[in-house]
Amino acid sequence: MALTRLREYLDSHNVKYVVISHSLAYTAQGVAALTHTPGRELAKTVVVKIDGTLVLAVVPASCQVDLARLRAVVGAETVELASEREFKDRFPDCETGAMPPFGNLYGMDVYADESLSHDKEIAFNAGSHWELVRMAWADVERLVVPRIIKLAAGKVTATAA
């Protein structure tokens, strides 16, 4: 489902990527542990409302979205986490909570934490709770065109897992 849509998009743009299957996991930290992926390299996609508009915020698995910082950077009146009820219909081909950071496939703006750009590759949920995609950050940046800002709250370290 989601992987099919994502795979077709990546293939149409001649992007090299790897699909990693793993045991069922619902948290980013759980996925990182199962796949032996450092937490700083596993991108967690969070749906946020900025003045009522749904957007994606992408941070390392070991971090949370700093909503106050996002509000200040974008100059919004309100920034808050979206409820599953508010966004589940926007991702009809994805399991809830396993959306890839490709907001462009769903008509949504994307904000990504600057620390993600420090690694050559990142991994992220591919629409299910048992598959990841690993690919070059440069390709994510080129295709998604996220706004890169300091967005993460929490520690991003070389040993995070």
The domains found in the chain, sorted by start residue, are 2-97+105-153 (3.90.960.10)
Q: What pLDDT shows up at residue 40?
A: 74
Of the two residues 4 and 18, the one the predictor is more confident about is 18
Tens digit of each residue's pLDDT (9 = 90 or more) over 105-114:
999 999 999 9
Phi, psi of 50 (to 5 degrees): -110, 110
Q: At what angle do helices 137-144 and 2-12 cross, to 10 degrees?
A: 90
The tens digit of pLDDT for each residue in 52-104 reads 999 999 999 889 999 999 999 999 999 999 999 999 899 999 998 899 999 99
**Cα(109)–Cα(39) distance, rounded to whole angstroms?**
23
Q: Which DSSP helix (H) or strand (E) runs through 76?
A: none
Distance of CA 68 to the CA centre of its chain: 19
Please check the confidence at residue 160 and state whether its pLDDT lies above 70. no
The 3-state DSSP class for residue 128 equals coil
Q: Residue 55 and residue 134: Cα distance in Å, rounded?
A: 22
More reliable by pLDDT, 158 or 106: 106
Task: Report pTM.
Answer: 0.89
Q: What is the per-residue pLDDT for 58?
A: 97
Contact 31, 132 (CB under 8 A): yes
Predicted local confidence at residue 159, as pLDDT: 37
Q: Which residues contact 75 (CB under 8 A, 6 or more apart)?
A: none
Confidence of residue 133 (pLDDT cuts 50, 70, 90): very high
